[in-house]
Amino acid sequence: MSRSGNLVIRGWLLVCSLCVVSSRQLLQDEMKVHSHDPLEYGFSLAQGYESKLAALAKGDEPIKDIKDPRYGVDEPGILEDARKDFIKLLQEGRKAHSQRMTEEAGCFCDGFSNVTVWDSTRNILCKRQEMLAKKHFPQKYLMDPKMTVSGAPPKAGLRFAPSEMKKHFRQYRAMLAEYYEGKEGLEQAFKPGPSDPGYDEAVDAIARRLVRKVIHNKPFVVAVAGVSIMAGMDNCFAKSYGPMMTRYLEPFFKAMGISIDVRNSGQNGDGPSMEDTTACIKAVMGDDVDILQITYVMINIAPAADYEAFIRRTITDGTLVHATHRVKDAIGNAPADLEAYYKSGVTEFTSEGLSALDSDPSIYPWWPKLGRAHWGRAGDGRCHMTTRDGSDGTIMQDWHPGPLGFQVYLDTFLYTYMDAFARAMDMLDQKDVAALKEEFPVDANLYEKGPALPSPVQCKQPAMAEHPLCKGETDHGFKDGPFCAVGQKPSWGLGVNFTDWFVPADDEHNPFKGRESTWTLKQIKHKSGLGQCRDQLYQRDKTAYTSRKDCLGHLDEGFAYAGKKGAGWVTFKLPDMTKGDIQVCNYKKNEGFAKGAQDVAQLKPQFALNGRTLEPPAGAAQPGDKVPFHPSVASAKASTCMQVAVGAPEKEGAYLSVSVDQAAADNLEMHIAFIIVQ
């Protein structure tokens, strides 16, 4: 390297070290502003800031607990004009800091200079903003952490007074609106929003489900399905989405005398496809789910017709579908269609709203304009440098959210859920519990209590006429199937594990009894983990996470029955079927959650039903070849699933057997990861 190059590097190191030293000195000097230093320009929060601050009226006193008559009254949080003006000054300061840093240190030469120059100065800026807020405009809407009551007696048949709980829900919603410096971003991020057609019906659908669980003293169940984001990949699991939702909601449900059950089946990138998981969602999640949140982004998005079919099957089964992204791929953009689906209980989290929550560039360009500059960086654009429960403030670990990113995502749901829960308290107040139990039996399908679904959107295309969506087969819930044995963990359905369906080789009912079988249940996908975690605490001391069981408590695993040439037959007892359609999922090489599995053409699988060899379904050259889409259970994107039988006559008491003894090579291994029947 040239002498001049060495001088440049030394110069950068000197500048960056001086920034750090200067930052520490500023903190020690109580954030005194040195406006002559261009790197510290942003600390003044904008020119003339002090005079503007002095001119503001005094803000309202904080609302601390339910004994304050203002507690839980404002909906969804009323920010007085003086507080709004103060927030604008904070935003101007953050914008000024970013602009000046772009001018003075905007080369973004490497991650080191980004972190040292941007973050060392920004931390000071945010500390100063925090100090000024506490002094002049302390947080207005505070939560009573104990969910105490002000003296109202519990309603007969309940453990609490609904009118009191309603105040807690409304206070939390107001707190969120203040936390995000206004409700606008929250309302943009969740559709339908309060001003959208279908909002009242969508929120009332949530409220009815809470009412039913409260009056019958049952857990309120929120299930989460999706990819590695929901699995908590690259994070301490305890700080990821599912555990965070439990922590944030648990105090409310404890005060109502029931529990919140968050079931997280998120699977990392080696996991099953969206089609397989959604076809088997009841097997995976159980039959008592109130809300299903689905998070399929980046990979594994189902075809539009399959997506809409899944939505309709789940909704008509009584479970609400709250999607994260791309729900419009399934139901289109037509206002009438969107409104009808919203009214039936479908909601969506929008990426447009997310940008308004985690750093709206039109207000303050929080991150340097560098491809991955935000990875491992703290802050959500509003100087929130940690989560509300004290977790690390990493917004993105990489393409996976960090703790603060999960909080932003969760808050968009909680903002609407709080409105729904408050409405549930009104329902509980208006009728006695006995009447409500008659209206909402414990096993009632609450879809029947709300608006009906519209006609399927994807069926407007004539080519889709034979899809089960367009034949009305998906509008009856899961009572007629599909039924599944699943290899993924965790799962909450009864009788859905492979071990429940597996028939030992010496079982008297096994059609191949007495023949040697060396098929084994094998782990083919390992759990998510800390991976590329960039939390500051973890980077300083990795044992802070590796020594905690809850940090390493990721749940996602994948198992399959594995067999090679010479392994004989493996047999499964199938549940009773209505159609006699059978699919077996053995993921192709480099696809899905059995990356070691080889192409079906090389495995040459054989299938038998009650000992009778199955012939290929129509359209297949041999059993297991992919076939044109058959209106059965899942799409024949059959690189994942093989159609084994269509309309098999043995619909009751059937035994399915599989062999790969004709495989092209001894080392090829089949992984039976799902069995789907209907």
Is 387 among the domain residues? no
Query: 646 and 617 in contact (C-beta within 8 Å)?
Result: yes
Is 155 among the domain residues? no
Higher per-residue confidence, 295 vs 434: 434
Q: CA-to-CA distance for 59 and 84, rounded, in angstroms?
A: 10
Query: 208 and 431 in contact (C-beta within 8 Å)?
Result: no
Residue-number span of the structural domain to which 628 is assigned? 483-677
Q: CA-to-CA distance for 243 and 196, rounded, in angstroms?
A: 31
Place of tokens 């990426």: 351
- 640-651 pLDDT, tens digit per residue, is 677 888 888 889
Task: Assess whether 351 and 237 both reside in one domain.
Answer: yes
The structure's pTM equals: 0.88
> How do beta strands 612-613 and 606-609 pair?
antiparallel
Final residue belonging to a domain, choices 136, 152, 172: 136
User: Does residue 453 carry a pLDDT above 80?
Assistant: yes
Task: Assess whether 169 and 312 both reside in one domain.
Answer: yes
Average pLDDT over residues 34-53: 49
483: which strand partners? 677
Higher per-residue confidence, 330 vs 167: 167
User: Does residue 626 carry a pLDDT above 70?
Assistant: no
The separation between the first and the last C-alpha atoms of the chain, rounded to the nearest angstrom, is 69
Which of 326-330, 576-580, 625-629 comes out lowest in average pLDDT?
Answer: 625-629
Task: Assess whether 231 and 329 both reside in one domain.
Answer: yes
Is 388 among the domain residues? no
Q: How many domains does the chain have?
A: 3
pLDDT, residue 604, reads: 84
DSSP 332-394: -S-HHHHHHHHHHTEEEE-HHHHHHHS--TTT---S-SSTTTTBT-B--SSS--B-TTS-B-B
pLDDT, residue 142, reads: 93
Average pLDDT over residues 667-672: 86
Distance, C-alpha 445 to centroid of its chain = 24
Task: Assess whether 537 and 434 both reside in one domain.
Answer: no
Is 149 among the domain residues? no
Task: Assess whether 670 and 597 both reside in one domain.
Answer: yes
User: Does residue 536 carry a pLDDT above 50?
Assistant: yes
pLDDT, residue 441, reads: 95
pLDDT, residue 634, reads: 39
Task: Assess whether 598 and 655 both reside in one domain.
Answer: yes
User: Does residue 43 carry a pLDDT above 60?
Assistant: no
Task: Assess whether 452 and 352 both reside in one domain.
Answer: yes
User: Does residue 367 carry a pLDDT above 90?
Assistant: no
Which residues, 6+ apart, have CB-to-CB distance to 54 below 8 Å? none
DSSP 516-537: ----EEEEEEPPP-STT---HH
Is 543 among the domain residues? yes
Query: 348 and 323 in contact (C-beta within 8 Å)?
Result: yes
Average pLDDT over residues 542-568: 93
516: confidence class by pLDDT, cuts 50, 70, 90: very high
Average pLDDT over residues 518-547: 91
pLDDT, residue 473, reads: 87
User: Does residue 567 carry a pLDDT above 90?
Assistant: yes
Q: CA-to-CA distance for 337 and 318, rounded, in angstroms?
A: 20
Higher per-residue confidence, 377 vs 428: 428
How crowded is the C-beta side of 513, counted as CA atoms within 13 Å?
Answer: 8
Final residue belonging to a domain, choices 429, 460, 491: 460
From residue 112, alpha-carbon distances to 40, 68, 109, 142, 432 in Å are 19, 49, 8, 38, 63
Average pLDDT of the residues of the chain: 81
Task: Assess whether 130 and 82 both reside in one domain.
Answer: yes
Query: 607 and 547 in contact (C-beta within 8 Å)?
Result: no
Helix (H) or strand (E) holding 558, with range, is strand 557-564
Is 147 among the domain residues? no
Task: Assess whether 317 and 214 both reside in one domain.
Answer: yes
Task: Assess whether 506 and 438 both reside in one domain.
Answer: no
Task: Assess whether 518 and 556 both reside in one domain.
Answer: yes
pLDDT, residue 627, reads: 42
Residue whose C-alpha is closest to residue 531's, from 554, 547, 505:
554
Is 52 among the domain residues? yes
Task: Assess whether 20 and 80 both reside in one domain.
Answer: yes
pLDDT, residue 295, reads: 86
pLDDT, residue 286, reads: 92
Residue whose C-alpha is closest to residue 342's, from 184, 191, 206:
191
pLDDT, residue 585, reads: 81
Q: Domain of 450: which CATH number? A: 3.40.50
Is 143 among the domain residues? no
pLDDT, residue 2, reads: 44
